[in-house]
Amino acid sequence: MHSQARIPNGIHNAIDYERLAPQAMDAGRHAYVAGGCGWDATLAANRAAFGRWSIVPRLLRDVRGGHTRLMLGGQQLAHPFLLAPVAHQRLAHPDAEIATARAAEATATCLVASTLSSVPLEAIAQAGGSAAPRWFQLYLQPERAHTLALLARAEGAGYQAIVLTLDASIQLPSRSALAAGFAMPADCTPANLAGFPPAPASALPPGASRIFQGAMRHAPTWDDLAWLLAATRLPVWVKGVLSPQDARQLQGAGVAGIVVSNHGGRSLDGAPASLAQLPAVRAAVGSSYPLLLDGGIRSGQDAFKALALGADAVLIGRLQMYALAAAGALGVAHMLTLLVEELHACMAQAGCAALADITPGALLPCPPAAAA
């Protein structure tokens, strides 16, 4: 199920794409995309965290020269919104990541392409042109030779950074997706892994754990991170950080930047909201270390709050899929345009002419009763 290439009626704000998504997607696919894992507690926490802060309006500020430009990882961006590495985009639209890449080019948005994309990383790069940066999200493969092959392909296709996801060694399904009877369609098989044979199954000895000795058998370690940093010429970011201690250790290991993220609530149900951990992670790594926020962004106001609490930029995940389902490349480009304009309006009313003006002092905590 997908819509024609036009902006659907009733889209006034970026979050409206979330409201229309059930009309644009098959029920099972929507349940999978919208869900997290387990009881979706962390998924809900990501959204609720933004409601715990209010934005303080300021008066008589001259913002006529206002803009949202920033430098991130040595690259200039027009605005602080990046397209998150969302897997299996053919679930939302037949054009999948090709459409998303075209939207990124049209809006000068940095696209982070997933290892688990529905189309090859080279096709995504070609569709995205050269108007905006593009990064490649990496899952370490059981065989290091396969990881090296992915790195070589990403470097050859012009990707400018690697985003290593480390918080998804185990992903339990969402109860809502299970209730909807969702099964991954055959046409959503990850194109980038097509040439890699699956890791051979090995029988567990009696008494062994399906988790510790099974699912975690190939989980990354600090040795694997050190190996990766030496294996590529590209800067390596790490996605999936919630612990300030981990953040400091990653910084010390030479990681280029960090994405504060709980995998959109898809990893450990019961983990804290990404926004809730952001200030502590920022304090751990200092004021100048590159830091992104992933999880729960639905508006320019949400982005403003993330920037005030320590993020340099934010990643857009589910809204990307909802807009893709509703109107393909045009929908994703429109959604991004709305987010940027919403951020402009918020900044103007808060007296912030540039992203550097957005500080913790721009926010006030809401009373507990107002945070629901």
Per-residue confidence in pLDDT tens, the chain, 372 aa? 454 578 999 999 999 999 999 999 999 999 999 999 888 999 999 999 999 999 999 999 999 999 999 999 999 999 999 999 999 999 999 999 999 999 999 999 999 999 999 999 999 999 998 888 999 999 999 999 999 999 999 999 999 999 999 987 777 778 888 888 888 888 888 999 998 987 666 778 887 777 676 666 678 899 999 999 999 999 999 999 999 999 999 999 999 999 999 999 898 899 999 999 999 999 999 999 999 999 999 999 999 999 999 999 999 999 999 999 999 999 999 999 999 999 999 999 999 999 999 999 999 999 876 544
Q: Write the burial class of residue 324 (CB in 10 Å: 0-12 exposed, 13-18 middle, 19+ buried).
A: buried
CA distances from 370 to 92, 145, 276, 293, 346 (A): 35, 52, 17, 24, 20
Classified by CATH at the fold level, domain 16-184+219-351 comes out as: TIM Barrel (3.20.20)
- Rounded (10°) angle between helices 318-349 and 96-106: 20
> How many angstroms separate the CA atoms of 365 and 51, rounded?
9
Strand partners, 364: 54
Contact, 291 vs 68, CB < 8 A?
no
| Contact partners, residue 95, CB within 8 Å, separation at least 6 | 328, 329
Residue 229, both tokens:
């940093």
Annotated active-site residue in 79, 263, 334, 344:
263
Q: Count CB neighbours of 101 within 10 A.
A: 28
Q: Domain ranges for the chain, please list them.
A: 16-184+219-351
What is the longest distance spanned by two Cα atoms in the chain? 72
Indicate the pTM of the whole model.
0.94
334 labelled catalytic: no
> How many angstroms separate the CA atoms of 155 and 147, rounded?
12
Residue 65, both tokens:
């020269």
Contact, 108 vs 132, CB < 8 A?
yes
Query: Could you tell me the sign of the dihedral formed by the alpha carbons of 104, 110, 115, 121, in that order?
Result: positive
